[in-house]
Every structure is written in C-alpha cells, then in structure tokens.
Amino acid sequence: MAKIGILKRKKIYKLLRFGFTTSLIYGIIFFIETKKVILPQLATGFVFGMMVGILEEIASHRRILSISLPLQFAFKLIGIFFILFFISSILTLSFVTFSEVEFDTILSHLKQKEISSSIISSFFVALMVSGYFQIERLIGTNLLINYLSGRYRKPKKEIRVFHFLDLRSSTSISEKLGNETYYSFLNDAIYDMSQSIMETKAEIYQYVGDQIVFTWPLDKGITNNNCLRLFEKITDKLESRKAYYLKTYGYEPKFKAAIHAGIVLAAEIGHIKKDIVYSGDVLNVTSRMESLCNKYNADILISKSLFNLLERKHEIIYEDLGQMTLKGKDEKLELIKIFPSESNFQKERKELEKALKVN
C-alpha cells in the first residue's frame, strides 16, 4: 500500500476538522432548541462540514486565489448554496417515494419553516467555519492558537532556530519581469514550497519583500536536521518545476539561506493590528550572515554553534569558514558553508568516490 504524502495527510486532516467542527456546532444549536443530542443531525453536520471543506480546498487553488477577493467570496457563496441544496434534496428524497420525486416537491419541502430555518442556520454555520479556517490559513495555525490561548500576552524567552531564505538576483529579475509578473513568479515559488515547509515542521515567521523568514523551537529545528533539510527540499521541488518557470517567466527561482539559533523574547504586540514578534540579536546576526552568501559563493551558511547540534554531521558536506566579523558586530562568529546534496561539489565528490571504488 502506497504511503500517503504529508500534503495529502494535511488535507485529509483539515477536511476531518471541517466535518467535526461543523458537526459540533450543529449539535450545540439543536441541543439548545430540543435539549437532546440528535445523532442524525450530527452526521448531517459532519457530511456538510466535509463538503464545505472540499469547497474551501478548491477555493485555495492558485487559480482561484489569483482573482479578486469579492469574486473569491462569491465563488464560496455559490458553492455553499449548491451544497445546501444538494444535502437538503437528498434528505427530502428520504421522506418521499420514488414516484413523488419532482423538482416542485423538493422546493415545497424546502420552503417549510423548520427546513428553511435549518438551511439558513447551516448557511451561517458554513460561513463561520469557513471564515475561521480562512483566518487560520492567513496567519498560520500555530500563530492563531497562540493568539487564542494568550500564550505571549506576557513576553517569554525562547531558544529558536531562524532560517532566512532570500531570492538570488531578485532586483534584476524584478526589473525585467515588471512588478506584477515578478510577484506572480514569487508567489508560484512560495506555493511550490508548501509541502517542504510542512514536512520539516517550519513556521513562516514573516515575509520581507522577496525574503522569507522561517523559525522552529530549537528541538524541532534540529530534529532530523529540519532547519537544513528545508532548503534542500525547497531546492529539489523548484528544480523539478524548472521547465514550468523557464517557459512561463524565462527565469527559475534560486535561493540562498542563512541559519542560526539563539535566545529571543517572544511577545504579542500591537493594539489596532496585533502580531507576535521575536526580538533578539539572533535575528540581526542571521540577516548579516545571509548577506555573506554571495561573498563566499554559498547556497547555505550556518553558524557553527547550531551546526554542532545537528544529527549525522558526518553525512553533510561542508567547509569550515572559521571566525567571521559580521558588519556592525564586535564579536566574531564561526560560520559553516554547506554544500547541498545536488550541488556540483557533491556530484563531483560522488563521481570521484565511485571511480575510486572501481579502481
């Protein structure tokens, strides 16, 4: 039996959450009205939620996301109406004989006060559940949970890994493509990163122009070398889509990265617009590390202190650059240059090892 990929598992899990959430809300509504737990209503709510979840998944496709927000909202409204009509029609058919099945029969059944009020309630339940998951998608599951739990209302010290991922030659690509096409190019690349991000349990902290900042709690970042594997997985995915990017834009997205870990102060900040921010020297240091990638012709630079915590270091091909003085910093930092598994250096090394074994 083929193993289900993490992206498919995430989608299935999300559909189940839609189903259970909607079923729970249905159960609460009908319990308030009848003081009973009605199992058929819970089942109906679950099926309805799953169908709304499928609609939400369709609406999150890049082609739908490329249209204006009012049109996206209209698409969802029409979809919810169709789902409600479909489920209500199926339920109506269970109350009439096959010979009585007519469109007018279904409509007259739907116009009954009890049925119509249930449809209206279901419509608003769908909007509420869909709205919640839309907010979750916009700001991230972990961030939303932290907001709701109030975890960072009081500042907390944490040890975190930060991964700064920056697009190479972004200025020249932007000038040649134009702003609108350039951001379409960038959005496609970010869309293609989705599975890699989920597989390595990375959190997207922020987008800064064409730079993406990922973060992990220290234990998650070093487990299975997640902070390092993220870059390689993103690179492999984009390489597999190289033909699409060259045909559509004339360029392929190439990235460079810097990875470092340290203590940050995490806190919820803001009043009109709230956000959870991390402050600490580790962010400034990682940013300055990333600016050195071009100087050392490096795809990935990682601090030696973090590198020493990684697993199976003997399997990683790297070069110790020694101590570096970063711009604006007095203290020196030891840096490691990582050679990704598909780099020319790695390929030449594998070919050499193969030749030596033959001889």
Q: Is 312 left (phi over 0), alpha (psi -120 to 50) or beta?
A: left
Instruction: Kindly indicate the confidence band of residue 98, based on its pLDDT and cuts at 50, 70 and 90.
Output: very low
For residue range 9-24, list pLDDT tens digits in order.
Answer: 777 877 888 888 888 8
CA distance 10 to 212: 22
- The DSSP H or E segment spanning 142 is helix 141-149
Tell me what pLDDT residue 157 has: 92
Tell me what pLDDT residue 107 has: 53
For residue range 195-214, list pLDDT tens digits in order.
Answer: 899 889 899 999 988 899 99
User: What value does the mean pLDDT take over residues 174-191?
Assistant: 90
Residue 141: count of CB within 10 angstroms of its CB: 12
Q: Where do the domains of the chain lie?
A: 6-139, 145-358
Least confident stretch, 69-83, 161-175, 275-289: 69-83
Residue 272: count of CB within 10 angstroms of its CB: 4
For residue range 302-343, list pLDDT tens digits in order.
Answer: 999 999 999 887 778 889 998 887 877 777 889 999 987 654
Distance of CA 81 to the CA centre of its chain: 28
Residue 176 has pLDDT above 70, yes or no: yes
Greater confidence, 121 or 239?
239
Instruction: Kindly indicate the confidence band of residue 2, based on its pLDDT and cuts at 50, 70 and 90.
Output: very low
One-letter amino acid at 95 equals: F
Tell me what pLDDT residue 93 has: 59
Instruction: Kindly indicate the confidence band of residue 270, based on its pLDDT and cuts at 50, 70 and 90.
Output: confident
Tell me what the pLDDT averaged over the chain comes to: 80
Tell me what pLDDT residue 324 has: 82
Residue 282 has pLDDT above 90, yes or no: yes
User: What value does the mean pLDDT take over residues 269-297?
Assistant: 86
Tell me what pLDDT residue 257 has: 95
CATH of domain 145-358: 3.30.70.1230
CA distance 34 to 42: 14
Tell me what pLDDT residue 138 has: 63
Task: Give the single-character DSSP code of 240.
Answer: H
Could you write out the DSSP letters of every residue in 163-229? Answer: EEEEETTHHHHHHHH-HHHHHHHHHHHHHHTHHHHHHTT-EEEEEETTEEEEEEEHHHHHGGGHHHH
Q: Which residue has the tokens 């979809």?
A: 79
Greater confidence, 116 or 170?
170
